Amino acid sequence: MPSVLPLGDPAPADGLLPAQAADGAARRAFCLYVHIPFCRVRCGYCDFNTYTAKELGSGASQDEYSGTLNTELDLAARVLRDSNLPDRPLATVFFGGGTPTLLPATDLAAMLTQAESLWGLEPGAEVTTEANPDSVTPESLEILADAGFTRVSFGMQSAVPHVLKVLDRTHDPERVPQAVQWARDAGLKVSLDLIYGTPGESIADWEASLDSAIACAPDHISAYALIVEDGTKLAAQIRRGEVPGIDDDDHAAKYEIADARLAAAGFGWYEVSNWARTPDDRCRHNLAYWRGDDWWGAGPGAHSHLGGVRWWNVKHPAAYAQRLATGVSPAAGRETLDAGTRQLEHVMLQTRIIDGLRTQDLGPNGRKAVAGLIADALVDPAAAFAGTIRLTLKGRLLADAVVRRLLED
């Protein structure tokens, strides 16, 4: 998650939630996100809340981390109960980072076990961890699978050495197919993350990366356009002219290439940046974000959402550990969304996924905008006539503009 936290209302020390959080909860899936804020080195483009030091202060160092996190899980169970939320088993669990697999697999397993003991897992629950290709071994993957993990998402980014170099990625591209094979052998589903539009990446480079990802035969592929985040090393390099800048037209061309190649290889899009081999291979945890489901985000800087109440934890691992050590909720701020804001978010999120947005969920102005969106070939006409706003390929590339037009007042 980005290093800068949003501005919101203060969150209470006991973490208790406003009544709104419980409304209709029984009808929504409940998920868990676990943030692991450690990496071996920081990639030049990355502004996630992650740290390369092993020692971050009491309770926040890598070897104490799983214990600290489990304290938050205990607090979470208490808060949910005291805020009158119904007991719900977890539909998905997602370990993200940072690099979760920098911790011993047994630590990840311990956190999952703790979550399971507090809430239980739905039958067929999806349990994912992100991983760097060079931070896993056949043994570690085995341990994860045994502990109940079902899925691993590798940060492949590119198959081309000079592109990986600009991205500061340290792994050997040869390592990716190997890691995928180990994961498969352990019985895990596999996803690969790719980044396109890196300065210096040619169209041929991008095609090579796509082909190489497809050749690994994963179940799922995410392809992200490189975002140059303020304050990153990459942003400074571009500003100083050491590295060329990024270009939206290049991004658009590469997105179109990705969609075509992935479709030809049997992957269908289901969210602007995500493709899956079958509907069953879609990342349900990722979809929970777009569908407005409930999730608890544990770990420093993690974001949570329950029934239109959003909150986020303090950012620094030391501050986070300190709060938990003194029995105080790590929440730093929160927002209780009113009906109008929830409606706006609904349009903003639902439009990005293949389910699409029901036209009946739009205001009068939004409905008026639909004809124009069809005329501009941004939404699928047949779906629109059947009552659903679903983006075309061109529409996916202009999704934010589509949302603005749907929300015009």
Ligand X SMILES: C[S@@+](CC[C@H](N)C(=O)[O-])C[C@H]1O[C@@H](n2cnc3c(N)ncnc32)[C@H](O)[C@@H]1O
22, 46, 144, 272: which one binds ligand X (CB under 6 A): 46
Q: Is residue 275 involved in binding another protein (CB under 8 A)?
A: no
Q: Is residue 160 involved in binding ligand SF4 (CB under 6 A)?
A: no
Q: Are 249 and 264 in contact (CB under 8 A)?
A: no
Query: What percent of the residues of the chain are helix, what percent strand, and what percent coil, each to the nearest 5?
Result: 45, 20, 35
Contacts of 41 (CB under 8 A, 6+ apart): 52, 168, 170
Q: Are 134 and 171 in contact (CB under 8 A)?
A: yes
Q: Are 25 and 85 in contact (CB under 8 A)?
A: yes
Contacts of 224 (CB under 8 A, 6+ apart): 193, 194, 195, 196, 273
Q: Is it true that the peptide bond before 308 is cis, omega within 30 degrees of 0?
A: no
Read off the tokens for 304: 């949570």
Q: Is residue 388 involved in binding ligand SF4 (CB under 6 A)?
A: no
Nearest to 66 by CA among 373, 394, 324: 324
Taking phi over 0 as left and psi of -120 to 50 as alpha, with beta for the rest, 389 belongs to beta
Binding segment (CB under 6 A) for ligand X, from list 96-104, 213-221, 258-266, 316-324? 96-104
Q: Is residue 231 involved in binding another protein (CB under 8 A)?
A: no
100, 297, 317, 356: which one binds another protein (CB under 8 A): 297
224, 257, 268, 318: which one binds another protein (CB under 8 A): 224
Q: Is residue 209 involved in binding ligand X (CB under 6 A)?
A: no
Residue nearest to ligand SF4 (CB): 46
14, 42, 238, 256: which one binds ligand SF4 (CB under 6 A): 42
Q: Is residue 345 involved in binding another protein (CB under 8 A)?
A: yes
95, 119, 255, 267: which one binds another protein (CB under 8 A): 255
Q: Is residue 227 involved in binding ligand X (CB under 6 A)?
A: yes
Indicate the Cα dihedral angle 84, 361, 282, 270, nearest 10°: -160
Q: How many CB atoms lie within 10 A of CB 340?
A: 9
Q: Is residue 1 involved in binding another protein (CB under 8 A)?
A: yes
For another protein, which is the closer residue by CB, 277 or 396?
396
- Binding at 42: pick from ligand SF4, another protein, ligand X, none (beta carbon under 5-8 Å per type): ligand SF4
Distance CA 156, CA 392 (A): 27
Q: Is residue 157 involved in binding ligand X (CB under 6 A)?
A: yes
Bridge partner residues of 220 (DSSP):
191, 276
Distance CA 38, CA 61 (A): 9
Read off the tokens for 16: 């208790």
Q: Is residue 94 involved in binding ligand SF4 (CB under 6 A)?
A: no
Binding segment (CB under 6 A) for ligand SF4, from list 44-52, 112-120, 226-234, 317-325? 44-52
Q: Is residue 228 involved in binding another protein (CB under 8 A)?
A: no
Q: Is residue 94 involved in binding ligand X (CB under 6 A)?
A: no
Q: Is residue 305 involved in binding another protein (CB under 8 A)?
A: yes
Distance CA 375, CA 21 (A): 40
Binding segment (CB under 6 A) for ligand X, from list 24-32, 45-53, 323-331, 387-395? 45-53
Distance CA 131, CA 190 (A): 11
Q: Tell the residue number behind the tokens 């502990």, with chain if given.
A: 147
Q: Which residues bind another protein (CB under 8 A)?
A: 1-2, 4, 6, 8, 33, 35, 48, 96, 224-225, 227, 248-249, 251-253, 255, 272-273, 289-290, 295, 297, 301-305, 310, 312, 335, 341, 344-345, 348-349, 376, 378, 396-401, 403-404, 407
Q: Which residues bind ligand X (CB under 6 A)?
A: 45-46, 48, 96-99, 130, 132, 155, 157, 193, 195, 224, 226-227, 229
Q: Which residues bind ligand SF4 (CB under 6 A)?
A: 39, 42-43, 46, 48, 50, 97-99, 132, 155
